[in-house]
Amino acid sequence: MIKKILGITFFALLSITATAQSKKTLEKQQEIKNLVWNDNDPYRNVMDIPENWNNESAVFIVKSIKYIYNRPGNSIEYTKIERDRIKLLDQAAVAEYSELKYTEGNVFYREMSRVTNTFFLGVKVIKPNGEEIEIDVNQESVSNNDEKKIAIPSLEKGDIIDYYFYTNTIVGENDLYQYKPVENTIGDTYPIIKFDFLLETEDDFFINFNTYNGAPKLQQIVEPTKKDKKRVYSFKAENVERNDFPRWFFPLVELPSYKFQGLFARSGKYEKKAYAFIPEDVNIVKTNVSKEEIFNLYEDKFRPYGDLGDVERFLKKKNFTTNEEKVKEVFYYIRHAYYTNYVEAFVMDESNIMYPFELYGKNPIIFNNEVDFVRFFTAFLKDNKIDYEIIIGTQRYNGDIKDLLMESNISFILKVNTEKPVYIEYFDPYATPNQISPLLENTNAYTLKVVDRKHIENIETVKLPTSTYKENNSTEKTEMTITPDFSGISINRSFTYNGQTKIDEQKNLLMYYDYVYEDHAKYETEPILDRVRNKKDQEKYKKEYAALLKKLKDEQQEKIKERTAGEYNLKIENYSFKILKNGRFGKEDSFEYKEEFTMGNDLIKTAGKNYILDIGKMLGSQVDLSNKEKGRTNNIYMNYPRSFNYQIMVNIPDGYSVSGIENLTSSVENETGGFTSKASIEGNKLVIDIQKFYIHNYEPNANWQKMVAFLEAASQFTQSKVLLKKE
């Protein structure tokens, strides 16, 4: 998690791997081929597609996914076989599949455990006359990070491509092992005639599985017997329409989909140790995690625990008027002491300037997960006799909490019951009390009621608060000065961000060095290089670090410049920016920065002795809906309610006046949001004030046209022009 905040980019490695095949591998390859493409394959001769899909780009004749869990000897084995047979109907689909892209499935690692990963693929092309051409999969593949590609030559419209991906992982002797969860929609970007899902498992594998949003339910097709404990489950779907994945949408909430997770536990003892939401009996497929189950599992999970030495030292020198204030201050202290305090160390290590970790002495406290953090923070609360609850939520794109299936879909929030409640979530450099993830806002959740500040006694349902569009605000002021010869424009812009918008922008724009040193100063901790005892070493490292910092700062400036240029879709020059205020200490603490740059005459057009100024373009890119999007039938899921205030000020060139400011007036407001603009002449300045806002984070499809109305008004505004008239 810490590594995410570093701005160092790693370039993708492009490599060509010639695969030398051993005899054994070739034999195995053949074995897998016979597993998939054999005489029992019901699709081996299917070539037709329904007429109503003749105008599609391509159609899946079959999409089949198979998971197999078994135990060869003492190991545990996982196999996934995905098989697709697709008829390609147009040139675009042919171009898409002329390079078959794939990743070699999940690679499971576990410390001190032997793991064997195997991957095979098979591809054949079937011509309209039935001729089958098998592609040599042992040819060179090109890889880019995890993704590989092989060429499929001579594909034409009307061909069928039939391929499978076989992934196998064997983990050595193991008592307990949890596989990664799988969450997918059934549909794909092309329609599917037949969708087949199959799961086969031996004893000791616990399965959580469910389907959603009208997808067919899982059926058990093979029951275990005394002799053979194997179980087989499946579900099938037919004539699945293509999925459009529009903007502002959470597919798993509305589209037919399936989710599952497997867990291996060798015996009863290990089942308990699993400490996970698994079925009570291995032969039952668990379809849901209920409120009661969460209570039972988490009753003991959050015992307050942590070494509060640092916190106590911090509190000693302080006085607080309210507990609320105390809680917030301790949170910020911990955010530094156990997070931002370490950041430079990771930078030093990754850039190989020096090995930093021994400079932190003893055992630095690091929170590896949310639970560790909650336990530590509640230890502080208990010590200071402050009451709290632990909220269990699930992010909006997962669906409602009552449909919870897997622990990985759970998020925790601490609700501290001070005079006014303080909500605290797991931290990153920008975490702020009372600012919870927008993906948890306005959701149904469960709360674990805590008694005596340590015993979890009960669980209730609760609704999480939501932020407002006024709180989540972006305010921009732009000042434009046209050069006397009208060959260009110089621009100053200032930005102020608040609320959820602030957090997004901090993540987009700030680098660790923009705030780490301010934290060090505030909490009187040492920047890491100051800890280096040897003076000569320290000097050497500081020099190298200074060079690295300069490089990072140049990259940061370039990135922000490109973002601005992208907003206007114009070339800009002479760019510089400055962070004025980081805004990391409280919801009311705004993030502010400013920038300056020049542009050419792209927005100025000669009109005889006058000039036309494309002033609307200074609003930047607005959501521009295609006809298809305007006819959207899905509900609308946005990150958070938000508002944007813009002020554009143009210094009117000497000897000119402005005509056409009535073109700059616009007003569309309704229950979903709005766009308003007005303009006036103040002295020698043209001043335009604009507001755009989205009132909710969710709108039902019935309200879509209301949103379209103000989005169109905003888009139309970008076309506004004024005349600079020579007097």
Partner 1 sequence: METVPIVAPETNKETHVFNAKINNNALEGNVSLTYSGESRASFLYVFNNLRTEMKNEALEYYLKRADRNMMVDNIETSDLENRDDQLSIDFNLKQDNAVSSFDDEIYINLDYYQEYGKWLFNERNTDYEFAHKEYLSSEINLELPEGYKVTELPKGIDVNTKTYKIFVDFELTDNVLHYKKVFVMKDAVVKKSNFEEWNETIKSLQSIYNQQIILVKD
The residue among 30 and 719 lying less far from partner 1, judged by its C-beta, is 719
Residue 623 CB, shortest distance to partner 1, in Å, is 11
The residue among 53 and 591 lying less far from partner 1, judged by its C-beta, is 53
The answer to whether 596 and 576 have CB atoms below 8 angstroms apart is yes
Task: Give 290-306 as a DSSP string.
Answer: -HHHHHHHHTTTT----
Residue 240 CB, shortest distance to partner 1, in Å, is 15
Residue 83 CB, shortest distance to partner 1, in Å, is 24
Residue 720 CB, shortest distance to partner 1, in Å, is 9
Task: Give 572-583 as a DSSP string.
Answer: EEEEEEEEEE--
3-state secondary structure of 266: coil
The residue among 213 and 483 lying less far from partner 1, judged by its C-beta, is 483
Tokens 């927005």 identify what position?
Answer: 603
| Torsion sign, CA atoms 80, 85, 89, 94 | positive
The answer to whether 711 and 623 have CB atoms below 8 angstroms apart is yes
Cα dihedral 181→186→190→191 (10° resolution): 170
The residue among 297 and 612 lying less far from partner 1, judged by its C-beta, is 612
Residue 633 CB, shortest distance to partner 1, in Å, is 16
Residue 481 CB, shortest distance to partner 1, in Å, is 20
The residue among 55 and 363 lying less far from partner 1, judged by its C-beta, is 55
The answer to whether 469 and 641 have CB atoms below 8 angstroms apart is yes
Sheet holding 141-144, edge to edge: 14-17, 141-144, 147-151, 99-103
Q: How far apart are CA 586 and CA 429, in angstroms?
A: 12
Residue 663 CB, shortest distance to partner 1, in Å, is 8
Closest CA to 560 of 534, 586, 578, 540: 578
Residue 93 CB, shortest distance to partner 1, in Å, is 7
Residue 657 CB, shortest distance to partner 1, in Å, is 11
Task: Give 98-167 as a DSSP string.
Answer: TEEEEE-------TTS-EEEEEEEEEEEE-TTS-EEE--TTS-EEEETTEEEEE-TT--TT-EEEEEEEE
Chain residues in the site for partner 1 (CB under 8 A)? 55-57, 89-93, 95, 242, 601, 605-608, 612, 624, 627-628, 659-660, 663, 715, 719, 721-723, 725
The residue among 127 and 721 lying less far from partner 1, judged by its C-beta, is 721
- Where residue 718 falls (left for φ over 0; alpha for ψ -120 to 50; beta otherwise) is alpha
Partners of residue 687 on adjacent β-strands: 649, 680
Residue 660 CB, shortest distance to partner 1, in Å, is 5
The answer to whether 324 and 419 have CB atoms below 8 angstroms apart is yes
The residue among 321 and 627 lying less far from partner 1, judged by its C-beta, is 627
Q: How far apart are CA 52 and CA 31, in angstroms?
A: 38
End-to-end CA gap in the chain: 61
Measured at the CA of 603, the angle between CA 598 and CA 607, to 5 degrees, comes to 130
Residue 141 CB, shortest distance to partner 1, in Å, is 24
The answer to whether 90 and 62 have CB atoms below 8 angstroms apart is no
Residue 482 CB, shortest distance to partner 1, in Å, is 15
The residue among 6 and 612 lying less far from partner 1, judged by its C-beta, is 612
Q: How far apart are CA 525 and CA 333, in angstroms?
A: 11
The residue among 290 and 719 lying less far from partner 1, judged by its C-beta, is 719
The residue among 652 and 723 lying less far from partner 1, judged by its C-beta, is 723
Residue 104 CB, shortest distance to partner 1, in Å, is 28
The residue among 153 and 608 lying less far from partner 1, judged by its C-beta, is 608
Given the DSSP bridges, would you call strands 192-201 and 58-70 parallel, antiparallel or unpaired?
parallel
The residue among 5 and 658 lying less far from partner 1, judged by its C-beta, is 658
Closest CA to 414 of 401, 427, 403: 427
Crossing angle between the packed helical segments 341-350 and 535-568, to the nearest 10 degrees:
90
The residue among 72 and 608 lying less far from partner 1, judged by its C-beta, is 608
The answer to whether 105 and 119 have CB atoms below 8 angstroms apart is yes
The answer to whether 197 and 236 have CB atoms below 8 angstroms apart is yes
Given the DSSP bridges, would you call strands 422-425 and 411-416 parallel, antiparallel or unpaired?
antiparallel
Burial 513-538 (b: 16+ CB within 10 A, else e): bbbbeebbeebebeebbebbeeeeee
Partners of residue 219 on adjacent β-strands: 234
The residue among 89 and 161 lying less far from partner 1, judged by its C-beta, is 89
The residue among 547 and 607 lying less far from partner 1, judged by its C-beta, is 607
The residue among 544 and 614 lying less far from partner 1, judged by its C-beta, is 614
The answer to whether 530 and 608 have CB atoms below 8 angstroms apart is no
The residue among 361 and 608 lying less far from partner 1, judged by its C-beta, is 608
The residue among 191 and 256 lying less far from partner 1, judged by its C-beta, is 191
Q: How far apart are CA 37 and CA 34, in angstroms?
A: 5
Q: How far apart are CA 331 and CA 426, in angstroms?
A: 10
Given the DSSP bridges, would you call strands 685-694 and 591-599 parallel, antiparallel or unpaired?
unpaired
Residue 603 CB, shortest distance to partner 1, in Å, is 11
Crossing angle between the packed helical segments 309-316 and 323-335, to the nearest 10 degrees:
130
- Where residue 198 falls (left for φ over 0; alpha for ψ -120 to 50; beta otherwise) is beta
